[in-house]
Structure 1
Amino acid sequence: MSADFQALYITVKLALVTTVLLLLVSPPIAWWLAHSKNRYRTIAEALVALPLVLPPTVLGFYLLLAFSPQYFPGALWQDISGQSLAFSFTGLVIGSMIYSLPFVVQPLQSGFATLGVKELEAGATMGMSRLQRFRYIVVPMTKRSFMLAATLGFAHTMGEFGVVLMIGGNIPGETQVISIALFEHVEALEYQQAHIMAGGLMVFSMVLLLFIYGYLNRSQGKHQQTRFW
């Protein structure tokens, strides 16, 4: 397998793992942000949205320090696993989850905020637990938000550069992702390979966006038609 295909494989693997984990972690956060009256909610929202405005290299720098054996998270991980958290695929996953968190939480938060309470109250009167109400009522009614959150999280992770470079370095076959491989080709003046990789990413991104917006528009049209009739 060539270095470019290895970089593509690692990128897709990283995006898939990150998206799946975020879809497990983000719904409770989004639900709390959408319905909590806690006075600290604004601070929590700001922390979740921080990666949107923070330069990726700044976030990557502090994550690199946290992942190093000189600080508690990195030292604890090394004691448990015997391996360094920095410059590892696990470190890339954790960094990607933090960096892509707002792209998953915010669509879910918007969907949960507009959700009616009548269906949830009806489920409660039928004896459904909170988990059952979330699974059988909330998720089906906000599936468009889940679809958008998954797509944005996956696409955003696919295009990461600054964060993954800081915490993962550029180790071929281990932490080298497609954006870093593209940068290497440009630095080496290998423009043909760079064109192939950049063009492929552009086509992939466009197809992904066309799919998600087409799906959202169809779902919205069906919903409006149902309400009309």
Structure 2
Amino acid sequence: MKKAVVVLSGGLDSTTCMSVAQNEGYTLYPITFRYGQRHQREVEQAKKIADFYSVHEHRIVDLDFFRQLGGSALTDASIEVPDQGEDQGIPVTYVPARNMIFLSLATAYAEVIDAEAIFTGVSSVDYSGYPDCRPEFIQSMNQTINLATKTGVSTHHLKIKTPLMQLTKGETVRLGNTLGAPYQLTTSCYNGDTEACGTCDSCRLRIKGFKDAGAVDPIPYKITIDWNK
């Protein structure tokens, strides 16, 4: 029985990764982080997604450090979430070193349960300018985790798998729909309401992805969207 840890945020990309890992025959061990984000909706949706896949175990890890640290619009109430994105540079929604920390903790979990792989939904195509979503970072982390773990130096190499790395959001949606990913349970909006705002950067990327895939997003939005345009 091969096992995979899946970094599950409750969003579209990580849920697509769950469907890919399941399709590849892995037993799923999702890990979700409560890291001081503005809202808890994504954690609640992650629980529902884990239930949908009838996973063996779903770990939810509390990391209040990010809230204490601040420095991101996703964890610091004093920084406004931009509605229309930013024209250049790294956006204010970047959370300092988040993926590096998440993958380090996912590695510890994988080592304890003797997993072979860690799935994460980063993409170098639709990555919003975050430096910790680039292939160079993943390659570096792959090397690091196998230098720094008992598993890596004595039994087998762990592998960080990024099935969405070269996919646009539209290609990701098509892949997930093909594999039956439960997109109706996912959330992407930075504001965390039951109805997505439809205007934040994350919503706009998601909407474009469904349109590019020729599909209709099953989640509700506060604004009216013409899915045929």
Task: Calculate the TM-score normalised by the size of structure 1.
Answer: 0.27
Larger Rg belongs to: 1
Higher strand share: 2
Structure scoring higher RCO (CA < 8 A, sep ≥ 6) equals 1
Higher helix share: 1
